[in-house]
Structure 1
Amino acid sequence: MFWKTISLYHIFLIFGTSSGLAMDVRIDLQQPVAEKGPKFVGITVDTRYLVYGQMSALDLSSPKLHTLARALSPSYVRVGGTDADDMVFNATMNGWFNHTVGPSVLEKMWRLSQLAGWDLIFDLNVVVRKNGYWDPSNTREILKFFSQQGYVVDCFQLGNEPNVFEMKYNLTVSAQALAHDYLTLKSVLQEFPLYRNSCILGPEVTRITQTKTREYFIEFLKSGGAQALTAVGVHHYFCPGDPAVNLGFFTNGTLMDSLKEELDYLVSISRQYVPQLPVWLSETGTTFGSCPGTPDLDLTYINGFLWLDKLGLTSQSAVQHVNRQGFFSDLLDDNLDPRPEYYLTLLYKRLVQGAVFRVPTTTRNVRMYASCTNPDSYSKGALTVYVINIETIDVTLTLSEFKEQQLDLYMLTSGDPEDISSRSVALNGDELKMTGSELPPMPSRIVTGNSFTMAAKTFGFVVIPNANVPACRR
């Protein structure tokens, strides 16, 4: 019999032991709070890789690239970013120059998405303007080229974070003007049969907890933007108040909880003005761009705490898709070697899919989320619990509902036990490294019973293969 929701006072128990903390974990399996599909987690390729030549230099025949890209499929790939705002297409150009790209660049971008099995989202150049409004003439040239080549584009966007254009370009595009621009985009897409049913995703604003951003977002929807969209897309990054970011920033439970406010604003505004539309975090990560931060820390093991918790919080919300920034920067290094967050993202996609459940016993410093397990990896009915321990001591967790069950543990720790900001990551104690073009094996550590211990400042996944959860058998 599955546990039913009762008072948190009666079911929550956490106490000290000689070796750390112990928690009795309870999961409300009666009523899922959300449902997430296989493409819940997607990725991005920043437009700067098109306009500064990296895409042109990319070796699409690389077996290593094939392995790394295909492993994250099925996914959406959002090709966009700040450089998309003023990128233009020249059908007679060979290659790229000064934010102008030729056919070979767009062809290579398309071929990458195809070899990876990714569905394409393409961001267009809203900063190209005439008489106060977006000038779609160059976009027509892009769409003509795409259409002639038979390139299917699942979604289009118009610009990147328009609410901060004044800071980026000394340019103001009002919410009313942007709504007009999106309606123009919708009309332009109707000129091309291949794109008449493509999704339009926007308005791509960022920092929705700020009053001015919310006002911009609402005004855009009220001014006609709602009629242009088929999905709501916004961005989110954590912004530290102090430019001198330290390790504590990445394991700060209060900061992690701040995402709840962001999601509440996003969902409440969307439900009020466009209740029929799905909601996306169409570009997101941890720290980036104008937010002060330390890039060296952003690319290490410790960054995984913020990323995994973001996936947990968004999985419980109405957000349908989350696109991680960015495949060729945050997830892979310049040699196409996976960073720690690549392996974390890969494990998430392999292990998490379907109904999402509430875990009332989660705390600020021991954060837990639960979902059905991806049926491509385990039999239907399996349950995955993922845990983030930001305590400074070990925590022993007991899954009381699953006595004498097999637990498959996928615990991720720093590749260097003495350095939580290591650029490598270990799974169940073994450092993860590719061998040539092959990903490393990523087996679980199997324990019998219903208890396991997590080391301080670690995170990971627990699969209960024989949980037999009704919502996960569908």
Structure 2
Amino acid sequence: MSRLFLALFLFLLIREKYGYTNITLTVNYEKILAEVRKEFLSVSLDTHLIQLNWGGLNFENQRVQRYARNLAPAILRVGGTSADSLYFKPAFGKELASKNILPCYDPCNCDMDYKTVETFNMTARQWHQLANFAQRVGWTLLFDLNVLDRHNGSWTGKNAELLFDYASRKSVGPVYWQLGNEPNILPHFYNRSINPSTLGRDFLKLSTIVKKYKAFQQSLIVGPDVTHPKQDMNSSKPMKYLRAFLQAGGEALDAVSWHHYYFDGRQATADDFVNITHFDSFKEQAKLVCSETRRILGQKKSVWLTETSDGYGGGVRNLSQTFIANFLWLDKLGVSAQQGIELIVRQSFYHGCYGLLNPNLEPTPVYWLSVLHKRLVGTQVFNVSHNSGSKIRFYSHCGNRKSSLVVFGMNLNNFSVGVNFGKELAKVKFRVFIWTEDLVIKGFKDIQNKFVKDISFEMPPKSIAFVKFRKLVGVQACK
């Protein structure tokens, strides 16, 4: 017996020396922390793709449609800097890439000097392609209108009404609307500015116009899409802009929206994807936006994150579409839900180094993580606590199945972590999926086949875990 004890002691000593630790996760499923929309994880297409006549994206491609349906229900946000150059042309015609834009299919180096780019048209055919695709795959369209269609300092709404007139006569399902993109940094791209009070009045006008259309009685108005400040833009003060806007035009909104990126995608390295400072900075930003929105407009006002990824400027070459990008994305999903952000839009479904589909229209690891989250994770959110540091991060929701619970998270340490559950879950069997960089996913069956039954598990260094508890009688909130 003494030899066995000595062997066990040495084993534990060696593991401790190399950093191994055990944690206990406690899920407070007796209290719902927040509740998100069924479309919580959603996606975008950048308006820039319309300038490129979709830039290689084929809406009729059966694989593309199948990949999109895997993410339903979702909202498809079509917006971006180019939205403020777009005019709808209510006629069918031959679509060409804008003469002022050199067609660019390099996913990372497509930056444009927007100050020298002229406006461009979206044709009726392109609207049909977009709206029909969204309807076919179970997505709801969120379309960003041109806020720079102005006269005497005010938004005219005339071109928007052309689109409303046309779209309202076509049966394309519900459409939600935005007005403008990142208004707090308009001077950087367009050398023009709109003060927040004026923009607030513009949104009130948009709301009035939309309500005139029977087809859009269920449409939501979402804005103003302020963006997280960048270090080289000292004049950008997004929270100050957001506060002034909400005070002037917040009553027009069904959801308050904002954008977030962690770093400059053209300068980031692999270390940035596991840097705890980046993880924690988003949590603080999310807290601030949510608290200020609810202070000004009340507790029931929805907050949406309508454009987000890891690195701005198109993402990070050779990194944003690989396994390492899953950590920031999964954490953002967990933090957003905990903070009460009801919907989060991944930039983007296609195009850019951060696209869920690569230039060959093939799924990336970040796509499969998004599908896994969509399949398993429900709308009610719970708090998860543990007895370890910030490199171990876990979140919990009701599962998508009745009386089920899902716990998901990551181990960012360079050593393994043993995971147990506390309280009533301590002796309940579950199924767990562990994902490390060396596991190649080519289809969802590759994920399903890796779930194993257990009552505890070990997470390797730099790994992700999804845990499914089924038929939990005691979890009243998930019934």
Residues 1:351 and 2:376 are matched in the alignment: yes
Q: Deviations over 1:225-254 (max 9, x none)?
A: 1122121111111126x9642211111122
Q: Deviations over 1:100-139 (max 9, x none)?
A: 1211111000111011100111110112222112221111
Between 64-73 and 464-473, the greater mean CA deviation after superposition: 464-473
Alignment partners' CA distance in 2, 1:455 and 1:400: 21
- Residues 18 and 415, structure 2, Cα contact 8 Å, conserved in 1: no
- Residues 305 and 341, structure 2, Cα contact 8 Å, conserved in 1: yes
* 1:221 match: secondary structure: helix
Alignment partners' CA distance in 2, 1:462 and 1:444: 14
The residue identity in structure 1 corresponding to 2:287 is D
Alignment partners' CA distance in 2, 1:110 and 1:399: 45
CA drift at 1:185: 1.0
Alignment partners' CA distance in 1, 2:454 and 2:219: 49
The residue identity in structure 2 corresponding to 1:309 is D
* 2:429 match: secondary structure: strand
Q: Deviations over 1:397-420 (max 9, x none)?
A: 112333443321222222xx3xxx
Partner of residue 30, structure 1: 30
Partner of residue 371, structure 1: 397
Q: How does 1:161-310 map to 2 (within 5 A)?
A: 161-207=182-228, 212-223=237-248, 225-239=249-263, 244-275=267-298, 276-289=300-313, 294-310=316-332
Partner of residue 65, structure 1: 64
CA drift at 1:96: 4.3
Alignment partners' CA distance in 2, 1:262 and 1:18: 35
Given the two structures, how large is their TM-score scaled by the length of structure 2? Answer: 0.85
Residues 1:470 and 2:475 are matched in the alignment: yes
CA drift at 1:18: 6.1
- Residues 32 and 477, structure 2, Cα contact 8 Å, conserved in 1: no
Change (3 A) 1:298 1:18: closer
CA drift at 1:95: 2.1
Partner of residue 7, structure 1: none
CA drift at 1:440: 4.3
Residues 1:413 and 2:436 are matched in the alignment: yes
CA drift at 1:221: 1.4
- Residues 261 and 312, structure 2, Cα contact 8 Å, conserved in 1: yes
Structure 1 residues without counterparts, runs of 5 or longer: 1-14, 418-425
Partner of residue 337, structure 1: 362
Change (3 A) 1:451 1:157: same
Residues 1:109 and 2:130 are matched in the alignment: yes
CA drift at 1:171: 0.9
Change (3 A) 1:446 1:96: closer
Q: Deviations over 1:29-75 (max 9, x none)?
A: 221211234211111111112221126x6433322112101110011
Name the Cα RMSD after superposition: 2.2
Change (3 A) 1:19 1:273: closer
* 1:319 match: secondary structure: coil
Match of 2:461 among 456, 460, 470: 456
Alignment partners' CA distance in 1, 2:421 and 2:240: 45
Given the two structures, how large is their TM-score scaled by the length of structure 1? Answer: 0.86
CA drift at 1:364: 0.5
Partner of residue 421, structure 1: none
Residues 1:81 and 2:102 are matched in the alignment: no
Structure 2 residues without counterparts, runs of 5 or longer: 1-14, 99-119
